Amino acid sequence: MILIVYAHPHPGRSEANRTLLAAVRDLPGVELRSLYDSYPDFSIDVDAEQALLAQARLVVWQHPLYWYGAPALFKLWFELVLVRGWAYGPGGDALRGKDCLWVTTTGATNDAYSAQGKHGHRFEAFVPAFEQTARFCAMNWLAPLIVHGAHAIGREALEDHARRYRLRLQAYLDEHG
């Protein structure tokens, strides 16, 4: 029902994403696909990935923000898995109507994402590439879950985000299960 496609280059060293995942991975109906665990050599099994996507109703894209985007293996996953004739274009209806939830964590605080801040733009400026990827594949874009200041906010705030993540997925399962 819910497929979490997770891309963290060092899953064992993660604090924020690991905390988020710990809160949701035991939910019945949630399947976790950790790309860096599955494909340490970057050799993605496209058929297996497409089969997992095909059976999901909600697809979660979860990763730490790297250079204002997705870590390298996740970029490759987009390139190889979401292909013309399957995800978009003529006959490319495999993802049509599925829901998509983007979950990401950033090192910078929300303040740093402003015209005057270190990152020069509001965080919203970095969202469209993800949102439009989903929309291009005819998926429904849900309000993303963004955790800013992942290293600074502390354990309690991280746990709070994790609780909210769980509530969102639980509500989705209750509504669609």
Ligand X SMILES: Cc1cc2nc3c(=O)[nH]c(=O)nc-3n(C[C@H](O)[C@H](O)[C@H](O)COP(=O)(O)O)c2cc1C
**Closer residue to ligand X, CB minimum distance, 84 or 151:** 151
With CB atoms as reference, the residue minimizing the distance to ligand X is 107
**Closer residue to ligand X, CB minimum distance, 53 or 149:** 149
CB of 73 to ligand X, least distance (A): 13
Q: How far apart are CA 71 and CA 151, in angstroms?
A: 18
DSSP string, 15-81: SHHHHHHHHHTTSTTEEEEEHHHH-TTS---HHHHHHHHHH-SEEEEEEE-BTTB--HHHHHHHHHH
**Closer residue to ligand X, CB minimum distance, 9 or 29:** 9
103 beta partners: 62, 145
Torsion-angle region of residue 66: left (phi > 0), alpha (psi -120 to 50) or beta? Answer: beta
With a CB cutoff of 8 Å and minimum separation 6, the contacts of 67 are none
Q: Which residues in this chain contact ligand X in the complex, by CB under 6 A? A: 8, 14-17, 64-68, 105-108, 150
CB of 165 to ligand X, least distance (A): 13
CB of 20 to ligand X, least distance (A): 8
113 C-beta neighbours (distance < 10 Å), count: 21
CB of 68 to ligand X, least distance (A): 4
**Closer residue to ligand X, CB minimum distance, 1 or 108:** 108
Distances (CA, A) of 34 to 12, 30, 44, 75, 84: 12, 13, 12, 14, 24
CB of 123 to ligand X, least distance (A): 9
**Closer residue to ligand X, CB minimum distance, 29 or 107:** 107
